[in-house]
């Protein structure tokens, strides 16, 4: 796994990921800004079979739907707190199931996230 934390431009991501392909990372996480769906798709095509993971900073199911429809991600890291709660988290998870994309839940804000995960898992 390699987490760029949204710090790369698309040209940087393409260049860096090309260099890192020989290391065969499991995924490249948040390579560029979460609003750049087309950039994520280009990168995903460029580095395949390595997957692009994204989602911890995506605020709603509509953007997730756009990512999934474009084939711009290999893993979705939805954050229940940042996406607006349990209902939105479930909506995103069901969308991912439809597109056969694994969900790797993100926990970013510890107190709120732990409370939410306790609720989701009980």
Please report the pLDDT score of residue 107 as a whole number: 80
Residue with token string 């969900």: 103
Please give the chain's pLDDT, 122 residues, in tens.
788 889 999 999 999 999 988 899 999 999 999 999 999 999 999 999 999 999 999 999 999 999 999 999 999 999 988 898 889 999 999 999 999 999 998 887 666 666 666 676 66
Q: Which residues contact 19 (CB under 8 A, 6 or more apart)?
A: none
CATH fold for domain 2-121: TIM Barrel (3.20.20)
Integer angstrom CA distances of residue 87 from 9, 27, 51: 32, 27, 27
Domain spans of the chain, in order of start: 2-121
Please report the pLDDT score of residue 117 as a whole number: 62
Q: What is the DSSP letter of 103?
A: B
Outline where DSSP puts E strands in the chain. Answer: 2-3, 27-29, 51-54, 75-76
């Amino acid at each position: 796994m390699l987490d760029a934390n949204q710090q790369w431009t698309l040209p940087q991501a393409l260049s860096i990921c090309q260099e890192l392909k020989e290391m065969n990372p499991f995924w490249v996480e948040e390579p560029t800004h979460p609003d750049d769906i087309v950039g994520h798709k280009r990168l995903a095509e460029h580095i395949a079979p390595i997957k692009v993971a994204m989602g911890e900073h995506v605020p709603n199911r509509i953007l997730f739907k756009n990512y999934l429809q474009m084939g711009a991600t290999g893993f979705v890291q939805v954050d229940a707190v940042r996406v607006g709660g349990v209902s939105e988290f479930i909506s995103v998870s069901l969308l991912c199931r439809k597109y056969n994309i694994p969900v790797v839940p993100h926990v970013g804000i510890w107190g709120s996230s732990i409370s939410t995960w306790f609720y989701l898992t009980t």
